Structure 1
Amino acid sequence: MAQDETISPAEDAAVLEALFDHSPTGLLILDPELRILRINLTRPALHNVDLAQIVGRHITDVYDLSAPGEVQEMLDGVLESGAPAQGHLVRVRPKGAPGPEYLFSVSVSRLESPRGRVWGLLAEMLDVTEREKVSARVHVYGAVRQYVGQTLNVVTTCEELVRELVPGVADIAVVEVVDAVVRGENPPPSPLQREVPLRRAAVCRSGGEEQIQAHPVGDVRALPFTTPYAQTLADLEPRLVALGPDTPWLAADPRRAEAIRAAGAHSLITVPLTLRGTVLGLLSLYRTRHTDGFETGDVTLAVAAAAHTALCIDNARRFTREHTIALTIQRHALPLRPATPTTVETAHMHVPSETGGGGGFDTFALSGARTALMVGEVAGQGIHAATTLGQIRTAIHSLASLDLEPDELLARLNDTALSLAEERVVLPPADRPPLAGSCVYAVYDPLPQTCTIALAGHPPPVVAHPDGTTEILQAPSGPPLGSAEGPPFATTTLSVADGSVLAFYTASLPQISPSPDTLQRVLRHPERPLQDLCDDVLYRLRNDPCHGDVFLLLARTHALPDDQVAAWHLEYAPRAVGTARTHARHQLAHWGVDEETAYTTETIVSELVTNAVRYGTPPLRLQLIKDRTLTCEVHDGNPLAPRLHHAKTIDEGGRGLFIVAQLAQNWGVRYGLDGKAVWAEQPLSTTRR
């Protein structure tokens, strides 16, 4: 076009007509008073009346705007400043109409005459309703992928799902899970049988209003058959259902029907929670009177969210099952009763970790009225940790039966852990957790009232004396169990007065205590019942998750009463056998032991003293202990162990220890710095007096 050519008014009108007739975006011309002069919107539903009834009216008289105040402020700002407004999102609905809302991206420019006179506004309105719906659904699904399944807990996973779906997708969201799944059991195959109960795991409502609930969270019930909920679980197909006062299936579930009517719900989506052909539960979404009904895109989103959640629920179910098995194994590995109630009182506290750690404790009786106390934990979690702890505990019992000193026992236990680790090398990496752990092993002897302790990478115990003073035992610690190298294990022996309390614990206890000296402060009153002390420690703990099991074992020590022990020094000569039998006979009569047990004991004493005189060295000593069992001990100065010998028919001797083994409930050899003690135990029964 030549520079001197100008556009005529007719051409202006033609351009305007073409723009309004063919523009892909909606156009709206307003006068300075914001009255509509001309309109062309891409949504016919927004002006389904005669345009002559719209022109000349204020925009807010024609349309319901989501934020009329903000829109008014934007339009006035463009009129005053002339600066255009770009990309404002405005929700629009025909005035007073119950139809859906439409979302427009609105850009506004001021219209001026060639002389600068302002005569109105031009608004370009791009319909972004579908685009924003898709974007919102993508955002919600991203949030579901990110935030649902952060914990290995079935109910928590369901709660995370409903929080992400309300209010972005639905006004009300309900998740019901097959009750067996919550307990960690295998889910039932599809189709779900009518009688299978579901647990209402999570409910979320927009606005936080108190509304009528069909069933409370935690309620367990089967779904009525003739409803969309049951049908969805029968054929595993999602459903989009319109709700109304005359919906026929509501009569099959009166309580749910009452809640639906009270909430004003008019649209429902039901989606099964399924995985690999098994049914885990049901997701139900509702929209109420304040929002539009669901669309097909909402169903697609609900199906995708349900698929992700089903996988997370199944992971949590598997963890729950493994955790339950691990706790069962661990619980059965714990001692059922105190080992020696006469000389050691015990109480314990256990705070399981969320992942099922491998911690544990044990108390068991040793020869000579002694008591073994053990607290330990192994690396890992779940079934692997629980079974490893069971193997370690069995090894400790086997080694303790050899009457080993605590340091030697831990050294051999470490060798056992290394052997177990070598055996696991052939397993796949997923089934080969590291075999490492820590342990404290202590032996309390009530006769000298001493406690000998050895540590393997474990925190030292706290000692509470009868006067209320406490201390953390300063004891050297050897390497953790499973270490191929490290300093040797060492023992620490301390004297413990009658009524002292020893506190053994796992490393997780100090981590969740409000202060490092929590345990010591509680033990400043050691005369209190031990279980009260354990409870007091528990009540002071923070509610923080711990990485391992928290175990606390308290042991209050007592001396063995003098009248339950009898000892005699014997002459190192053959006639010591008769002297020993006489001492034993008189003492057993004084204790009121029945004749059969007394005769058996005299025989055992005779054989042990004979064996000591023949193969041992002086000094020679006989000791009888009446505690949980009747124990006979013969001490001599020879550190060499006697050997059980199965004598031949023609042999004149060599049957002593064989006879002892046949008569006694248990027998063994215990070594000391001054020789050895051969001991034998029998069940104790006394005559009536």
Structure 2
Amino acid sequence: MSDTGTADPGGDTDDAMAHALLDTLFSQSAVGLHVLDTDLRVVRVNALTEAVDPERIVGLHFTEAYRLDDPEGARQLLRQVLETGAPLVNRPVRGRLALSTGPARSLNVTLHRLDSDEGRPLGVLAAVVDVSERDKAHVRADVLTAVRRGAGHSLDVAATCEGLVSALVPEFADLAVVEVVDEVLRGADPPLSPLDRDVPLRRAAVRGTVTAPDSLVGELRRLPEATPFALAVTDLRPRLVALGPDTPWLDADPATRRMIEATGAHSLIVAPLKLHGSVLGLVSLYRQRRDAFNERDLTLALTAAAHTALSIENALRYAREHVIATTVQRRLLPQHDGERIAIESAHVLLPGRNSGCWFDTIGLSGARTALIIGNVAGHGLQTAITMGQLRTVIHALAGLDLEPDEVLARLNDTADRLTDERRSLPPGDALHRQPLTATCLYAVYDPFTQVCTVARAGHPAPVAVGPDGRPLELDVPEGPALFSEDSAPFATGSVRLDEGSVLAFLTGSLLPEERSVERVREALAFPERPLRELCDAIVYNLPAEADPDGAALLLARTGVVPPDRVATWELAHDRTTPAMARTLVRDRLEGWNLDEDTIEATELIVSELITNAVRYGTPPVQLRVMLDRTLTCEVHDTSPVAPHLRHARTVDEGGRGLFIVSQLANHWGTRYSTGGKALWTEQEIPEEDT
């Protein structure tokens, strides 16, 4: 009625529209609508609420109509909305209609209080939306993201497989098993499909929510015929299988039957790990406490398996390259600790991704020894090749009897040339963009002065202890690393070492923390122990969390030349000295029981060297002979001028001295020092004489 008392024709229209709206909502809405009275009993419900007759729900309490995981909590929420009038929007709950079958569903519930025109509560409108499929889609997306992050972040097959099962369990599956063809794990190329039934697979990763199947990891098995596993690696197609006590193929696979019975699994997905028609392995996923797998789950499993197969191939390719690089590295390094007359050495090479660390002990003239350690940053074959290039250059420079700082300066020149060569590569070459970085330490120990001279290019300083285990301080200035833009000069540091002192040369990865040097000194507290034991003690003393990822350690124990293996004479600077020198040398070599041919050759060598020293050098003149694996002769004088080899003509009366020396000695050269120079020769002697 209008205010004037006449009929309002629009009111009937509004009532009709309202009734039509309600009828449409309750007959066609995809949302489950429930009208509850003040006792929270269902008064009206639409016909689209699952496959249950709505008349059977009417009259039931809402918590009776729905079997909820938390019915008491739901009852409190309904009562709260009825009392306060505050709506509740999109509250997630788990449950299902009490009269329906199947597992609990993911539901979103929205509650609104229904009021009369006077504001009196009439009941509650409950809108229920089944969001199970939406939640499952979100879970699938999250699982796929987790697979991409977890499987493939490591270049290790086992870690890749473990990353896959960790991403799938428990969000997607209750049990996941990854098996890889055993030959593939050993570095062989993956076999082509169909996989021969005699080819074994090894379980690389297993994870479950209820059982603890860790003991299954590493097991080897051959796939039984006429099973989903064998079929999947035959045609490279996945299998979605319902499991039960009457599943026929389980008779052919008793082990799987026992596992299914123990876990209660009711659904299985088998997906092959395949790549380019080759079989890498198999992924088996089981469910035991949730809905069975469906076709969408199968699609996800295929995507995860494809990503994992690619990651495994990358890991295997890296493993093969790493084996090659490591093999090259080891072939380029010394194959045994060199035996020196006045120094003892031992080494440890720890495996890892880095294939550029190296060490060396090089015998120099005068019983001196060069001790070298270095590291080229990076991994792979090119890193090992660069290491080999630097090591070869150092060997060539060591033979020139240069000071350690000059050796590193010339080595750095070679590093600059290698950098230029890499920069000149085509832009598409991966090496063009890969920077070069290396460190090196070069030390020379002289047993006669017992002084060790060290220079380093960006490398950690050596750690030294005396023969009583007391730490020794080595002040060695740090020069720029190799391949760096820094052009600062290299400098040396020297220290006198008592006989029995131990020097430790380490690559940087063995010194990961501030206490690292102290840990090394603790391991060297008893330097009289065998060097091999000291090497092991240093490794054992590394912190538990340390991951050297490839490292080298070189130990050296200093000594002196035994007095019975060396003879030294101060000689007069006159023309009679060569004859006297020949007599002295013959007497000493006969005392060492050397053969006559060696004695005569040595007499001639000494005669020529002494003659040059008397004729062209300055006094005093010193002669030293030393017996080791070779026979060494040295003539010292204070002149910085060295003779050079000449090829005299037939009619020339002189000029043949060094030529004769070069023919009789296996090696010869000149070594300079602040006090002059030394001409030296080395002769190979028969093994029985050594």
Question: What TM-score comes out, normalization by structure 1 length?
Answer: 0.89
Contact 1:514 1:540 in 2 (8 A): no
Quick one: structure 1 residues 648 and 239, their matched pair in 2 at CA, closer, same or farther if it must change by over 3 Å?
Answer: farther
In 1, distance between residues paired with 2:422 and 2:687? 51
1:335 maps to: 334
2:172 maps to: 169
Which string of whole-angstrom CA distances, capped at 9 and with x for unpartnered residues, describes residues 557-587 of structure 1?
0111111110223344554333222222211
1:39 maps to: 45
Deviation (angstroms), 1:293: 0.5
Residues 1:22 and 2:21 aligned together: no
In 1, distance between residues paired with 2:603 and 2:410? 36
Deviation (angstroms), 1:669: 2.3
In 1, distance between residues paired with 2:9 and 2:132? 44
Residues 1:481 and 2:482 aligned together: yes
Give the partner amino acid of 1:262: A
2:265 maps to: 265
In 1, distance between residues paired with 2:539 and 2:492? 30
1:370 maps to: 368
Deviation (angstroms), 1:373: 0.3
Give the partner amino acid of 1:82: G
Give the partner amino acid of 1:23: S
SS at match of 2:511: helix
SS at match of 2:346: strand
Residues 1:128 and 2:131 aligned together: yes
Contact 1:471 1:520 in 2 (8 A): no
Matches within 5 A, 1:107-506: 107-113=110-116, 118-183=121-186, 186-207=189-210, 209-210=211-212, 216-288=216-288, 290-353=289-352, 355-356=353-354, 358-428=356-426, 430-432=430-432, 433-483=434-484, 486-506=487-507
In 2, distance between residues paired with 1:516 and 1:563? 38
CA RMSD of aligned residues (A): 3.2
SS at match of 1:535: helix
2:591 maps to: 590
SS at match of 1:83: coil
Question: What TM-score comes out, normalization by structure 2 length?
Answer: 0.89
SS at match of 2:338: coil
Which string of whole-angstrom CA distances, capped at 9 and with x for unpartnered residues, describes residues 350-402 of structure 1?
4445x425222211211221111011122333322222111111111111112
In 2, distance between residues paired with 1:333 and 1:2? 105
Deviation (angstroms), 1:286: 0.8
Which string of whole-angstrom CA distances, capped at 9 and with x for unpartnered residues, describes residues 26-77 of structure 1?
22233444444333353543x2xx5554433444445432333332332232
Give the partner amino acid of 2:330: R
Give the partner amino acid of 2:212: E
Contact 1:183 1:317 in 2 (8 A): no
Quick one: structure 1 residues 7 and 499, their matched pair in 2 at CA, closer, same or farther if it must change by over 3 Å?
Answer: same
Quick one: structure 1 residues 514 and 80, their matched pair in 2 at CA, closer, same or farther if it must change by over 3 Å?
Answer: farther
Matches within 5 A, 1:67-86: 67-86=70-89
Which string of whole-angstrom CA distances, capped at 9 and with x for unpartnered residues, describes residues 285-330 of structure 1?
1111x21100111111112222223333333333323333332222
Deviation (angstroms), 1:659: 4.2
In 1, distance between residues paired with 2:615 and 2:271? 86
Which string of whole-angstrom CA distances, capped at 9 and with x for unpartnered residues, describes residues 104-138 of structure 1?
32212234455655554322222323222222212
Contact 2:510 2:548 in 1 (8 A): no
Deviates more, 1:472-481 or 1:410-419: 472-481
Quick one: structure 1 residues 613 and 297, their matched pair in 2 at CA, closer, same or farther if it must change by over 3 Å?
Answer: same
Quick one: structure 1 residues 414 and 688, their matched pair in 2 at CA, closer, same or farther if it must change by over 3 Å?
Answer: closer
Contact 1:457 1:481 in 2 (8 A): yes
Deviates more, 1:546-555 or 1:194-203: 546-555
Contact 2:516 2:542 in 1 (8 A): no
Which string of whole-angstrom CA distances, capped at 9 and with x for unpartnered residues, describes residues 233-263 of structure 1?
2322222111222223223332122112211
In 1, distance between residues paired with 2:384 and 2:361? 18
Deviation (angstroms), 1:493: 2.7
In 2, distance between residues paired with 1:612 and 1:113? 126
Give the partner amino acid of 1:403: D
Contact 1:340 1:371 in 2 (8 A): no
Quick one: structure 1 residues 17 and 596, their matched pair in 2 at CA, closer, same or farther if it must change by over 3 Å?
Answer: same
Quick one: structure 1 residues 338 and 59, their matched pair in 2 at CA, closer, same or farther if it must change by over 3 Å?
Answer: same
Which string of whole-angstrom CA distances, capped at 9 and with x for unpartnered residues, describes residues 438-482 of structure 1?
211111111121112122222322332234432331122332223
Contact 2:354 2:551 in 1 (8 A): no
SS at match of 2:159: helix
Quick one: structure 1 residues 219 and 358, their matched pair in 2 at CA, closer, same or farther if it must change by over 3 Å?
Answer: same
Quick one: structure 1 residues 492 and 434, their matched pair in 2 at CA, closer, same or farther if it must change by over 3 Å?
Answer: same
SS at match of 2:291: coil
Give the partner amino acid of 1:412: R
Residue of 86, 91, 97 corresponding to 1:88: 91
Give the partner amino acid of 1:175: V
SS at match of 2:11: coil
Deviation (angstroms), 1:611: 4.8
In 1, distance between residues paired with 2:120 and 2:88? 19
Contact 2:634 2:678 in 1 (8 A): yes
In 2, distance between residues paired with 1:516 and 1:338? 24
In 1, distance between residues paired with 2:147 and 2:267? 22
Count of matched residue positions in the alignment of Structure 1 and Structure 2: 681
Quick one: structure 1 residues 336 and 26, their matched pair in 2 at CA, closer, same or farther if it must change by over 3 Å?
Answer: same
- Consecutive unaligned residues in structure 2, runs of 5 or more: 1-6
Deviation (angstroms), 1:411: 1.4
Matches within 5 A, 1:488-527: 488-512=489-513, 514=515, 517-527=518-528
Contact 1:463 1:470 in 2 (8 A): yes
* Identity among equivalent pairs (%): 51
Deviates more, 1:239-248 or 1:514-523: 514-523
2:3 maps to: none
Which string of whole-angstrom CA distances, capped at 9 and with x for unpartnered residues, describes residues 134-164 of structure 1?
2221222223234432222221122122111
- Consecutive unaligned residues in structure 1, runs of 5 or more: none
